[in-house]
Amino acid sequence: MKRKKVLIDTFCLVTASTGIRTYTIELCKSMDEFAHMSGLDFEPSLSLERVSRSTFLKGKLPVFKKIFHHVSYFIWKQIWLPLIIIFKRVDVVICPDFVVPMFCTASLKLAVVHDAFFWELPTHYNKFWRSYYLKMVALGLSRKAKVVTTSQYAKQKLKGYLKTVDIEVIYQCPKPLDKVSTPSSPMDFDFKEEEYILHIGYFDKRKNLQHLVKSFDRFIKEVKDENIKLVLAGGPATSPDLNDYDNVIELVAELNLQA
């Protein structure tokens, strides 16, 4: 019996440096094990090693690189990726970055849509880029496509914007972390397990960390326990326009919540 071929689109790793990057890499790493269990053949569209080495489109980009990225992204999604799918006779294509190709011979297209931020927070993105990106999402989901998201909350939000698309929830698994024998940062507070609340992620405006800090301040005043700490592990957002780091630090100082 012919084994079905599943292609994972890894083009997003050319630019991604945060959540989608981790999701895509962990998905690809699990391919061999799951292929043995499922009877499916998995393959990345681009070598993980190759795209991980690329730095041309990472970090703060000048205008010409941004334009180049938008054009190359369209060409990849709507021309090169469909050609790869035809050439490799792919049955299922998985795109972890929201966008699947519009014209596609695969029997099933799966778009991983992690949240509804692009629809809900228009002021956090360049309006021209956001319009272009959401049109690409809509084009890809217009034909034999399904959406995978990572929580019931995200599914309920997305239903309002993707009314005609089948949406399924597949929860994310924890990523194994290497044990560090010595503290790598001054955030080694040595808290007991019940004494802290941990948030891990970039200080991005769409994460709404200011609301988290205000809620935590209200919480410790209500429970009257100043031993509980809120630990924010991360750094400034990769995009200067979306960076909320300084505002969060100022709010922490204003509420006198420093460690």
Q: Which domains does the chain carry? A: 5-169 (3.40.50), 193-254 (no CATH)
H or E segment and range at residue 211: helix 209-223
Which run of H or E residues covers position 92? strand 92-95
The SS3 call for residue 198 is strand
Average pLDDT for 130-143: 90
What was the pLDDT predicted at 246?
Answer: 92
Say which range, 9-18, 127-136, 168-177, 243-252, has the weakest mean pLDDT.
168-177
Between these two residues, 168 and 59, which has the higher pLDDT value?
168
Amino acid at 246: D
H or E segment at 111? strand 108-112
From CA 85, how far away is CA 82, in angstroms rounded? 5
pLDDT at 186: 44
Question: 37: part of which helix (H) or strand (E)?
Answer: helix 31-38
Check: pTM over 0.85? Answer yes or no: no
Lowest mean pLDDT segment, chosen from 52-56, 120-124, 155-159, 183-187 = 183-187
Per-residue pLDDT of 148-195, as tens digits, reads 999 999 999 999 999 889 999 999 877 666 655 555 554 555 666 667
Cβ neighbours around 92 below 10 Å, total: 17
